[in-house]
């Protein structure tokens, strides 16, 4: 059975932590990140929101968004655990900026990272994309039922 958990709060408890027995997909822009973690029998999703506000243009706030983005990327990285595969996708530059920060992480150096440009997606579309990318068959689906039909008892 594959369970899907969804949390829109900043709770670290939902994501699979510890060993390298999970794969992660991250949809990210400068405003929010949706982290989908896929372990053998559990698919979890977590949304993190950035505190960065871009487009102010005032000199006194010129470097403030950069500091917020640094904390935001650190927060995202802190929720990853140690996945053996990582898909980073989304619109804009945030996915590339996050990848650059990940490249400096010794803990995630063995992780296989893929980058993909996508449009803005809804939360269910993000989960579906990660499922499809990692070939995770939802419980009760026709594909899973077809697998069960071919077995003899």
| pLDDT tens-digit readout, 8-62 | 433 333 344 444 468 999 999 999 999 999 887 788 999 999 887 555 543 444 4
| Cα–Cα distance measured from residue 70 to residue 10, given in angstroms and rounded to the nearest whole number | 17
- pTM recorded for the entire structure: 0.74
Identify the pLDDT of residue 120.
Answer: 94
What mean pLDDT comes out for the span 103-131? Answer: 90
- Contact assessment for residue 11 and residue 73, using Cβ atoms and an 8 Å cutoff: no
- Contact assessment for residue 123 and residue 47, using Cβ atoms and an 8 Å cutoff: yes
What mean pLDDT comes out for the span 71-97? Answer: 93
CA atoms within 13 A on the CB side of 103: 8
pLDDT surpasses 60 at 136: yes
Taking alpha carbons only, the member of 80, 121, 77 closest to residue 100 is 77
């Amino acid at each position: 059975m594959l369970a899907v958990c969804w949390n829109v709060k900043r709770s670290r408890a939902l994501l699979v932590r510890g060993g390298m027995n999970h794969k992660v997909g991250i949809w990210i822009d400068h405003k929010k990140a949706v982290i989908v973690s896929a372990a053998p029998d559990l698919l979890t999703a977590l949304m993190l929101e950035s505190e960065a506000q871009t487009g102010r243009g005032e000199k006194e706030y010129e470097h403030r968004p950069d500091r917020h983005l640094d904390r935001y990327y650190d927060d995202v990285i802190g929720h990853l655990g140690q996945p053996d595969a990582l898909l980073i996708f989304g619109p804009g530059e945030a996915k590339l900026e996050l990848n650059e920060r990940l490249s400096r992480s010794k803990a995630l150096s063995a992780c296989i990272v893929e980058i993909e440009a996508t449009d803005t997606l809804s939360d269910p579309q993000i989960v579906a994309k990660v499922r499809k990318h990692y070939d995770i068959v939802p419980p009760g689906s026709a594909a899973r039922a077809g697998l069960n039909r071919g077995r003899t008892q």
